[in-house]
Amino acid sequence: MSQRTRIDLPTILKAATEIVDSQGLESLGLATLAQKLGIRSPSLYNHIDGLPGLRIELAIHGCDLLNSVISRAAIGKSGDNAVYALAEEYLAFARSHPGLYEAVQRVSDPQEGQWQQTARRLVETVVQVFQHYGLDDYTSIHAVRSFRSMVHGFISLERNEGFKMPISVDDSYRFLIDTFLLGLHSKMQAAQCAGELE
Amino acid sequence: MSQRTRIDLPTILKAATEIVDSQGLESLGLATLAQKLGIRSPSLYNHIDGLPGLRIELAIHGCDLLNSVISRAAIGKSGDNAVYALAEEYLAFARSHPGLYEAVQRVSDPQEGQWQQTARRLVETVVQVFQHYGLDDYTSIHAVRSFRSMVHGFISLERNEGFKMPISVDDSYRFLIDTFLLGLHSKMQAAQCAGELE
DNA sequence: ACAATTTAACTAATGATATTAGTTTTGTCA
DNA sequence: TGACAAAACTAATATCATTAGTTAAATTGT
């Protein structure tokens, strides 16, 4: 008799990642996943809590991976350089792991505890990079929200519809971040001047 | 005998819109849709090409609606005012029609002819608003891509995870657009100075 | 006004899916 | 070596989209 193939969670997540990155998040089903792993689909329930459970495990895994990648990219850099590095790695991750990135965005139950922790850590990384500008608390939060909106929006549009015009997409990305940072510096300078008037 | 209820495409799209806006795009199935309409699910095939066909019809419908809303908002305005108006209406639409907006973003077959036309018209509206700045062709495309990235990214993040910090989300949105426009003006001014040196 | 045609509803059946319950195998540990 | 737990399995169910074939109703042409 052939040995029963024995599976653990990391193996499942690896196979699931391959599926979503090559065929999209929609294509992730327990049937095809089990087949890929050489087991029967009910066996998956020993490791995950059904399809919803798999989706959230995958999101957590993807978010952790993304966070470790962008954290590494920001090491030893500060200010605009760190922001650019973050933006670049963010985009590179989304391009090399489109399905995983999608899983991170679309979590059906955002209240799940472990997910919230992981998501918070990712935001925390961005917050740290922006702390270097010495913005006040309000402005800092606005800046972080803005940065994440820009990066995610660009990634999402590029993936879901593609930018059709025959102009470098990477240049546009650079333009986006660049223009925002330019505006941010202008704002800081204006605030500085206002302060000196007192 | 009770009359057979008779259905047409607009009626289907209306019911589908209600479902997705209240329960999310994922919840849109032919079974529940048919039940809501008082018919049997196979009857839907007389009007739409299965679930994929329904999804694309819904996306086209949503994109048309979005375009008509933001077009109206930009009438009689120009420059920064027009950009702000566009951004505001875009966000307002996404908030009042979350499912429909989602349908517009996630089209499974972006090659479909009628969809491409509709999507192009939406982009064209944004392009027109940015024409007022008199940017060169390259910069203009970068600016439009940037604007759409910012707006969509913000909408997407707000919906999918919510901004957790106890700071006004609307203020952040304003900050985002504002900072970008400030940067854009700085860039234009710099280009202007460079031109005068010749 | 009535017959013919077309539209759009219906029922019935199929295949794929996730999921649950209950069973058997296999690895581990006392 | 034997007991226990983990994790595979089979079998069964409910739900879903989809297809084929059928019937009713509206529309059209004479």
From residue B60, how far is each of B45, B46, B55, B87, B124 by CA, in Å?
18, 19, 9, 20, 15
Q: Quick one: tokens of A22?
A: 């090559």
Task: Convert the pLDDT of each residue in B26-67 to its tens digit.
Answer: 999 999 999 999 999 999 999 999 999 999 999 999 999 999
Give A44-48 contacts, CB < 8 A, sequence gap 24+: A44/A7, A44/A12, A47/A7, A47/A8, A47/A9, A47/A12, A48/A9, A48/A12
pLDDT of B71 over the 60 cut = yes
Q: How far is CA B80 from CA A173, B140, B175, in A?
A: 21, 14, 13
What share of chain B has pLDDT > 70, as a percent? 97
Calpha distance A70→A129 (Å, rounded): 11
- Which amino acid does the sequence have at A1? M
Q: Spell out the domains of chain B, with CATH numbers in brackets.
A: 59-196 (1.10.357.10)
Distance (Å, rounded) from C-alpha B24 to C-alpha A87? Answer: 30
Q: How many CB atoms lie within 10 A of CB B82?
A: 18
Distance B37 CA to D24 C1' (A): 19
Residue ranges with strand state E in chain A: none
Strand D bases near protein CB (under 7 Å) are 6-12, 15-21, 24-26
Minimal CA separation from A35 to chain B, in Å: 25
- Do the Cβ atoms of A142 and B172 come within 8 Å? yes
Cβ neighbours of residue B2 closer than 8 Å, sequence gap 6 or more: none
- Lowest mean pLDDT segment, chosen from A1-5, A10-14, A117-121: A1-5
B148 CA to D24 C1' in angstroms comes to 50
Q: What is the pLDDT of residue B1?
A: 43
The helix (run of H) or strand (run of E) holding residue B171 is helix B169-196
Whether B51 sits with its Cβ under 7 A from any strand C atom: the answer reads no
Average pLDDT, chain B: 95
B49 touches chain A (CB under 8 A): no
Share of chain A above pLDDT 70, in %: 97
| pLDDT band of B191, cuts 50, 70, 90 | confident
Flag whether pLDDT at B190 surpasses 90. Answer: no
